[in-house]
Amino acid sequence: MTATEADLTTVEAHLERILSVVEPLSPLDLTLLDAHGCVLAEDIATTFPLPPFDNSAMDGYAVRSSDLAAASETAPVVLPVVGDIAAGSTGAYSVQPGLCVRIMTGAPIPSGADAVVPLEWTDGGVAQVAIRQPVEPGRHIRPTGEDAPVGTTVLPAGVHLGSTQVGLLAAVGRERVSARPRPRVVVLSTGSELVDPGTALSPGRIPDSNSTLLTAAAREAGGIAFRVGIVPDDPRMLLDTLEDQLIRADLVVTSGGVSVGAYDVVKEAIGRLGEVRFDRIAMQPGMPQSFGVIGPDRTPFFGLPGNPVSAYVSFEVFVRPAIRRMLGVEPIHRPTVRARLTSPVQSPPGRRTYARAQLSVEGGTYSVTPIGGSGSHLIASLAGANALVVVPEGTTQLDAGVSVTAMLLERRHA
């Protein structure tokens, strides 16, 4: 091992340091749609039965089943129809022997009735109806509490609230719930060479892609992300911007300015706002990393390297797990699969490489093809990747045909 490799921090050690600082956010009272995607922080029990009253499962006629014992195709039973009950009806109907009531799906079963005859078994009459077959007691009635009696815990604290879970919260009559909120992630780019996308380029300038990339990635990870945009390589401006932004941040992510060049503004300035470390991590891309806490609330801070591929890979490996930890969801890491490598990948000695790749599945087995060069500025090939091939620290070359670990980059808006 060379002298430079010796002072590299492993990916695991850096991640451990991050996860020892970052904690799940405290629960808040949220509306159901704000709680969507979050983790529930209370047990939810029904305060009324589901369904709340006996109701009809069909459009048809509420009857006394004993009246229809003799009904058949050839000798239908004819009953007078004495009323009409729509869903939402609050009228108190009752069905006397020898009579029936027309009823719609979801409408309350009138007293006296013990079954519903579907419209399809009848002539559909309005004043009187001919019913062509008998019906068993209880048929086509959805009884009170069938789904959940009063006092049933339908969702325990700790569940991840997807669409069906927030739907259930609404069904049990909740308007708001206690849930861990989404972390608010403030994203900014440092670099005096950067201009906003859409601005005409002048010599030496490039569009700022990182703040858009990282804001979108933070949203995909489950955060509420704010794209602050560009800060030039001026320590005073960076400090002022961060001080302004800290008020709305649970997490701050910057890109650029963390290596050893002149004008590496994050490195120059951030120490004044808190305790931030600068480390060289045994990985490729993404070797220079900065992490710490800043501001009065000790807000976690990530200073990612500026090359877009490095910034993105660093986000996936370090920032995404931190956002997921704050949300309180599991797993915090991207899923990995074993896949057959279709062409060789190189990796510098002593470092873990994350290589952009396309993963596909054929006949139940995965194969993975590295794409793009090793340059960390190659954002065009990054956009074509749906996986990262992970080359372990002890390996400098993986040959075509071997089985490798691929990290899946599912791009779902969480």
By CB under 5 A, name the binding residues for Mg ion: 191, 256-257, 306
Q: Of these, 89, 152, 209, 405, which contacts ligand AMP (CB under 6 A)?
A: 209
Q: How far is the CB of 312 from ligand AMP (least distance, A)?
A: 11
C-alpha span between 297 and 227 (Å, rounded): 21
The contact pattern for ligand AMP, residues 16-55, with x = CB under 6 A and - = no contact, is ----------------------------------------
208 binds, among ligand AMP, Mg ion, none (CB under 5 to 8 A by kind): ligand AMP
254 binds ligand AMP (CB under 6 A): no
- Determine contact, residues 161/42, Cβ cutoff 8 Å: no
Q: How far is the CB of 168 from ligand AMP (least distance, A)?
A: 42
Q: How far is the CB of 27 from Mg ion (least distance, A)?
A: 39
Q: Of these, 65, 133, 259, 396, which contacts ligand AMP (CB under 6 A)?
A: 259
> Which residues, 6+ apart, have CB-to-CB distance to 402 below 8 Å?
340, 341
- Nearest to 95, CA basis, from 57, 145, 129: 129
Residue 404 DSSP label = E
Q: How far is the CB of 210 from Mg ion (least distance, A)?
A: 10
The strand order across the sheet containing 77-85 reads 115-118, 60-63, 100-103, 77-85, 128-131
- Determine contact, residues 183/221, Cβ cutoff 8 Å: no
Q: How far is the CB of 267 from ligand AMP (least distance, A)?
A: 10
- Determine contact, residues 108/89, Cβ cutoff 8 Å: yes
222 binds, among Mg ion, ligand AMP, none (CB under 5 to 8 A by kind): none
- Determine contact, residues 259/233, Cβ cutoff 8 Å: no
Q: Of these, 9, 56, 189, 353, which contacts ligand AMP (CB under 6 A)?
A: 189
Number of residues that bind ligand AMP (CB under 6 A): 19
For Mg ion, the closer of residues 256 and 288 by Cβ is: 256
* Alpha-carbon separation of residue 225 from 35, 85, 186, 187 (angstroms): 16, 50, 6, 7
The contact pattern for ligand AMP, residues 292-331, with x = CB under 6 A and - = no contact, is -------------xxxx-----------------------
Q: How far is the CB of 256 from Mg ion (least distance, A)?
A: 4
Of 64-72, 190-198, 237-245, 269-277, the window that binds ligand AMP (rule: CB under 6 A) is 190-198
For ligand AMP, the closer of residues 161 and 218 by Cβ is: 218
For Mg ion, the closer of residues 90 and 202 by Cβ is: 202
**Do the bridges between strand 365-370 and strand 336-341 make them parallel or antiparallel, or are there none, so unpaired?**
parallel
Strands, E assignment, 86-182 = 100-103, 115-118, 128-131, 141-142, 153-155, 176-180
- Interacting positions 210-229 with ligand AMP (CB under 6 A): 210-211
Q: Cα 38 to chain center, whole Å?
A: 8
**Do the bridges between strand 184-190 and strand 251-255 make them parallel or antiparallel, or are there none, so unpaired?**
parallel
- Determine contact, residues 373/379, Cβ cutoff 8 Å: no
370 binds ligand AMP (CB under 6 A): no
405 binds ligand AMP (CB under 6 A): no
Q: How many CA atoms lie within 13 A of 316 on its CB side?
A: 27
> Interface residues with ligand AMP (CB under 6 A)?
189, 191, 193-194, 206, 208-211, 255-257, 259, 261, 305-308, 377
